[in-house]
A and B are shown apart, each in its own frame.
Chain A
Amino acid sequence: MTSADAFGFSTRALLAHRLRSSLSLLGMAIGVAAVVILTALGEGARRYVVGEFASIGTNLLIVVPGKTQTAGALPGIGGTPHDLTLLDAAAVARLPGVQRVAPLAMGTETVANRERKRQVAVMGATADMAPVRRLHVERGQFLPPLELGRGAPMAVLGLNVARELFPGEDPIGQVIRVGSWRMKVIGVLAHRGMQLGVDMDEVVVVPVETAMRLFDRRSLFRLIVEARSRRELPSVQPLVVAKLAARHGEEDVTVLTQQAVLSSFDRILRALTLAVGAIAGISLGVAGLLIMNVMLVSVAERTNEIGLLKALGVEGAQVRVVFLLEAALLSLAGAVAGLFLGWVGVLVLQHLFPKLPSTTPVWAAAASLAIALVTGVVFGVLPAGRASRLDPVLALGRR
């Protein structure tokens, strides 16, 4: 018997019971589709987070006031660290290997254009913030370089803030109130979305000195240090720590690399995707049981046919191959249908959550296909074995 003949015989047997065959392969299809869709979702979340980080460059160091004493404690908890000041920022900027330093102050304040008011995040920044965080202005300009220690009553608005405070108006040159301060709008940021946990469309950026006075703070929120290149990042990190330790008299800052945060997020989300995929994979096992059930029914129903085949001189092994092939074809057809269903599901997902770059990882699609095929065959072994062992006399005798 050639494989083409076996294939033809098995296919015809499956087509003779279209409803039953399609119902049992539907189980497999749903299982594969679940794997495809859920891993796409997990992968989408992972890529989204990774993309978020990548969007602000990977050669950054983030200096946070406060020292993590033990694993698990958050920076800033425990101990009273020295203030992280603009002078610190200036000192770090002079270190070799450092391209730029962007000091950052953060707070929340009411921003108003006459009677239009909004509570927004206010970022205190310098001119260097734009290149470091890859920010662009849609209109006007970003903060100009200012002398150290000098503030100025000027503000750059996030896109949504500008739209809401100045609907249908050009905000450039207008005056807004930030808390009790009056500031002139000099620019509007281009659309950026979430960045480092802050929606850049929903902020107001003011000079860092101004922000610190506004919030009455003496310490910066963060220092963002840009190394000249990613290769110099490992050598810059200890220099920054040493410099600040020398200025403060003790090591009281935490330096995070973008890379470390990124890779831990990456690991967590990969594990999550794998777990979700594995849970969906269980349904493939259930689908395998369904196929076994259908194959057992098929063997019982075709007892006469099997007896006939044996009387005609067909070997038990050939009977086994034919039934195994039927199980394999069922699960393969189910898996292919599932890949298609999953593809459609992912398209829907992409439509519903356009920000999430949902795509099924190739390994997940390949693994689900392989698992589907293997379960189909494994669960086909029992029915096929039963068929091959049927006694022809008894099988033919049954009507």
Chain B
Amino acid sequence: MIELRGIERTFVVGDQPVHALRGVDETVRAGEYVSLMGPSGSGKSTLLNVLGCLDRPTAGTYTLDGREVQHLDDAELTAVRRHTIGFVFQFFHLVPRLTAAQNVELPMVFAGVPREERAARTADALAAVALTDRAHHKPEQLSGGQRQRVAIARAIIMRPRLLLADEPTGNLDSTSGRHVIELLEELNAGGLTLVVVTHDPGVARRAERVVVLADGRVVERVRGSELADALAAVHAR
């Protein structure tokens, strides 16, 4: 599904080049469940942006679903995001003036999906996240966990192959967080490739595989169940 070869990403801050990613090689199989860990500044957010086709690597090749995407222009990247990738964010990013159903429907509106089909798919997606009864509530009328579930329904409404979740539980209490993770895992069980960026070792170790980044490099790859508490402690420094 994802193949990264020698990915580098350099920003220029002032006059100084900052190497956010220094040669990342990584492969994620279709249907795999991977956690991405690392301290602040380790480059995991940059890597997530590259994976999500929101940012282009400075060097290296990124093959997504069999297609090299590092040289695509903005319009092509937009199309890739639209059809292949779903995003879940720490701060939900729901449009406050739209109802839950309208938020879920949003990607289809801009993708030109016919109105009747939209209604049916929205209803299905809301049912999948158990929010059918909240369809006509505005985000402000929903709890944090409910908001994140709306965001997940929105992320999968275009039937992507890859779901990228950036600290999906970062803003939730532990119960809602667990429900959200379970929901993501359910989707993964259905065949969706899942990459979760997290600070929380408790969340990270649920993945099949944990990739640990530091200073723009992959420093550790372990099975989720083997994620050492010690490593978690290092990461959390």
Contact = CB atoms under 8 A, between A and B. Distances in A.
Nearest to B91: A399
A315 B107 CA distance: 11
Contacts of B111: 1, 313
B55 A16 contact: no
A307 B74 CA distance: 14
Nearest to B109: A5
Interface in B89-115: 89, 91, 93, 95-98, 106-107, 109-112, 115
Interface of A: 1-2, 5, 9, 12-13, 15-16, 304-305, 307-316, 318, 392-393, 396, 399
Contacts of B97: 12-13, 15-16
B78 A315 contact: yes
Contacts of A5: 109-110, 115
Given A312-B154, A314-B82, 5 more contacts: A308-B93, A313-B78, A313-B79, A314-B107, A393-B54
A396 B158 contact: no
Contacts of A305: 93, 95
A313 B81 CA distance: 5
A313 B96 CA distance: 19
Interface string B66-77: 000000001100
B235 interface: no
Of A9, A318, A392, most buried by chain B (CB within 10 Å of CB) is A392
Given A316-B74, A392-B54, A393-B55, A311 B110 contact: no
A310 B74 CA distance: 10
Contact of B98 (A12, A315, A318): A12
B62 interface: no
Contacts of A315: 75, 78, 110
Contact of B112 (A2, A316, A396): A2
B24 to A, nearest CB: 17
Nearest to A313: B82
B176 interface: no
A1 B55 contact: no
B81 A311 contact: yes
A9 B109 contact: yes
B109 A311 contact: no
The 8 nearest A-B residue pairs measured at CB: A313-B82, A16-B97, A313-B81, A314-B110, A308-B93, A312-B107, A5-B109, A392-B54
Given A12-B98, A392-B54, A313 B110 contact: yes
A399 B93 CA distance: 10
Given A305-B95, A393-B55, A312 B81 contact: yes
B134 interface: no
A2 B112 CA distance: 7
B211 to A, nearest CB: 21
27 contacts: A1-B111, A1-B112, A5-B109, A5-B115, A9-B109, A12-B98, A15-B97, A16-B96, A16-B97, A304-B93, A305-B93, A307-B93, A308-B89, A309-B110, A310-B81, A311-B81, A313-B78, A313-B82, A313-B107, A313-B111, A314-B82, A314-B110, A315-B110, A316-B74, A318-B110, A393-B49, A393-B55
B190 to A, nearest CB: 21
Nearest to A322: B110
B87 interface: yes
Interface in B40-57: 49, 52, 54-55
B22 interface: no
Contact of B158 (A313, A392, A393, A399): A313
Contacts of B107: 312-314
B54 A311 contact: yes
Contact of A310 (B78, B83, B158): B78
Given A9-B109, A12-B98, A311 B52 contact: yes
Contacts of B85: 313
B54 A312 contact: no
Of B79, B91, B106, most buried by chain A (CB within 10 Å of CB) is B106
A396 B93 contact: yes
A312 B153 CA distance: 12
Of A1, A309, A313, A393, most buried by chain B (CB within 10 Å of CB) is A313
Nearest to A392: B54
A64 B109 CA distance: 77
Contacts of B81: 310-313
Contacts of A396: 54, 89, 93
A319 to B, nearest CB: 9
Contacts of A1: 109-112
Contacts of B75: 315-316
A2 B117 CA distance: 14
A316 B78 CA distance: 9
Nearest to A389: B74
Interface string B8-50: 0000000000000000000000000000000000000000010
Contacts of A307: 93
A310 B52 CA distance: 11
Contacts of B110: 1, 5, 309, 312-315, 318
